[in-house]
Amino acid sequence: MDMLAARRDQIDLAIEALGGPATGAKPSKRPSTAEPAKVRRGRPPMSEEDRQAASERMKKFWAERRKATKKAAKKAADKG
């Protein structure tokens, strides 16, 4: 068994000497570019004014939603 392991090590060294490390990976056929083109994804960033306007809208929306929920709960309590 030791003899086989030693022989395998010799073969590995010979392969590395001939063609580099035996990783199984193929070299890239096309040259790598210095910097890939930047692709912008998603929506553009919001300005401070846009964020503030969205905040105001959502506060109003949720206030009305809470108000409607309280009315519905009160009606149900009055009926029952």
For the chain, the domains span 54-80
Q: 12 vs 57, which has greater pLDDT?
A: 57
Q: Is residue 69 a contact partner of residue 77, using CB atoms and an 8 Å limit?
A: no
pLDDT in tens, 34-47: 676 778 789 899 99
Residue 56: pLDDT band by 50, 70, 90 thresholds? very high
Tabulate helix, strand, coil % of the chain (nearest 5). 60, 0, 40
14 touches 22 (CB < 8 A): no
Residue 73 has a pLDDT of: 85
